[in-house]
């Protein structure tokens, strides 16, 4: 084992005053007390959602609200104003999901009523980011799961081990995946996680230290700008693009899969930055337009909206 990996194993997770080591099966706090760790491959105990509580009887495992999917932050909201168009979009990506009805919302969003919670969850997992004009898919506000990104997670760390360590702290993750580079598939130091509202608050307040570096834990931004990797324009993806190919870095029409060594030139505003830059005036303008369409108005920071989001495809 090399020295870097040894240091990594010695310092995986720090939460409050507790340090969890990756190379042992115990927890040791700052006072030197030690106790055994449960098996890291364990599953949390099953908890029944139905039963008798006093004089109340729970008849259903979940309510109708659990069957609803909301889509916000739609770039071209007018396109999805009819139920027929909404259903067509769903059938394009997951035709086997059973839908009771769907309709557009007053502020530009979409509501989809499925026949079961399982169907709703399938839509959440299957609908790609570019569907519904790049809109953000989520359960009705106040319910369901929350998404966060953990940045700075060393690529040698096993994400399932990380999930087990979080579980020891009372943070139960329903989903965890390490992100990869778009073209090469090489793992990067960013991990995407999902958890319930109760665990989400704990997660955001957790200090995560890996190899003596403090990771950044951020909740998912609800406003996203979709950029085409083919022509670099906003509002659609490369799979459906018929425009002329343009390089992300120089805006010229050479092979975009070859590393570009030319002068940096934006294809959207002509500035001296890549088309993927969040400081691009065209990007910022697009972001502001989408933010005003969001059904839950998102305040834009006044300190140079250059940091107001990540381009998403």
Segment 160-216, tens digit of pLDDT: 999 999 999 999 898 899 999 877 789 999 999 988 888 898 999 999 998 888 999
Angle at 108 between CA 105 and CA 112, to 5 degrees: 45
45: in domain:
no
Do 103 and 169 have their domain in common?
no
Residue 19 domain boundaries: 3-30+144-219
Assigned token pair, 180: 């990869």
Q: What is the dihedral of CA 187, 189, 195, 198, to 10 degrees?
A: 170
110-157 pLDDT, tens per residue?
999 999 989 998 998 889 888 998 888 888 865 567 889 999 999 999
More confidently predicted of 278 and 162: 162
Do 159 and 128 have their domain in common?
no
Do 278 and 214 have their domain in common?
no
Buried residues in 182-217 as b, exposed as e (16+ CB within 10 A): eeeeebebbbebbbeeebbeebeebebebbeeebeb
How far, in Å, are 74, 117, 224, 273, 278 from residue 268 at the CA level?
Answer: 20, 41, 17, 10, 12
Last residue of a domain, one of 177, 192, 219: 219
The number of distinct structural domains making up the chain is 3
CATH number of the domain bearing residue 13:
3.30.70.330
Do 94 and 241 have their domain in common?
no
pLDDT of residue 45: 33
The mean-pLDDT minimum among 55-64, 146-155, 259-268 falls in: 55-64
Last residue of a domain, one of 200, 219, 238: 219
pLDDT of 52 over the 60 cut: no
238: in domain:
yes
Do 209 and 235 have their domain in common?
no
Distance CA 68, CA 141 (A): 11
Token pair 């899969």 in the structure block, residue: 257
Distance CA 190, CA 179 (A): 6
pLDDT of residue 302: 37
pLDDT of 289 over the 90 cut: no
The mean-pLDDT minimum among 165-179, 221-235, 241-255 falls in: 221-235
Do 210 and 166 have their domain in common?
yes
The mean-pLDDT minimum among 44-48, 83-87, 308-312 falls in: 44-48
Do 246 and 275 have their domain in common?
yes
User: Mean per-residue pLDDT for 242-265?
Assistant: 89
Do 76 and 26 have their domain in common?
no
Do 211 and 257 have their domain in common?
no
Do 121 and 162 have their domain in common?
no
Tell whether pTM > 0.75. Answer: no
Last residue of a domain, one of 157, 191, 219: 219
pLDDT of residue 224: 78
């Amino acid at each position: 084992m090399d020295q870097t990996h040894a240091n990594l194993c010695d310092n995986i997770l720090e939460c409050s005053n507790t340090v969890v080591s990756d190379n042992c099966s115990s927890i040791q706090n700052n006072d030197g007390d030690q106790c055994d760790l449960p098996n890291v491959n364990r599953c949390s105990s099953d908890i029944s959602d139905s039963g008798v509580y006093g004089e109340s009887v729970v008849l259903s495992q979940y309510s109708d609200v659990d069957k609803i999917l909301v889509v916000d932050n739609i770039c071209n909201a007018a396109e999805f104003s009819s139920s027929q168009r909404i259903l067509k979009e769903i059938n394009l990506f997951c035709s086997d999901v059973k839908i009771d009805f769907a309709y557009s919302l007053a502020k530009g969003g979409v509501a989809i009523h499925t026949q079961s919670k399982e169907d709703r969850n399938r839509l959440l997992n299957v609908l790609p980011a570019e569907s519904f004009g790049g809109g953000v898919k989520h359960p009705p506000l106040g319910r369901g799961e929350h998404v966060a990104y953990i940045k700075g997670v060393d690529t040698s760390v096993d994400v399932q081990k990380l999930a087990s360590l979080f579980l020891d702290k009372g943070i139960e993750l329903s989903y965890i995946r390490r992100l990869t580079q778009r073209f090469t598939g090489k793992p990067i130091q960013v991990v995407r996680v999902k958890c319930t509202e109760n665990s989400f608050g704990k997660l955001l307040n957790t200090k995560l230290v890996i190899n003596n570096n403090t990771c950044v834990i951020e909740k998912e931004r609800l406003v996203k700008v979709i950029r085409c990797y083919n022509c670099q324009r906003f509002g659609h993806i490369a799979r459906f693009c018929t425009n002329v190919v343009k390089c992300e870095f120089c805006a010229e029409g050479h092979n975009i899969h070859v590393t570009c060594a030319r002068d940096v030139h934006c294809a959207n505003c002509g500035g001296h930055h890549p088309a993927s830059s969040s400081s691009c005036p065209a990007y910022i303008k697009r972001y502001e337009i989408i933010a005003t369409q969001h059904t839950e108005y998102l305040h834009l920071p006044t300190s140079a909206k250059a940091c107001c989001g990540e381009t998403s495809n």
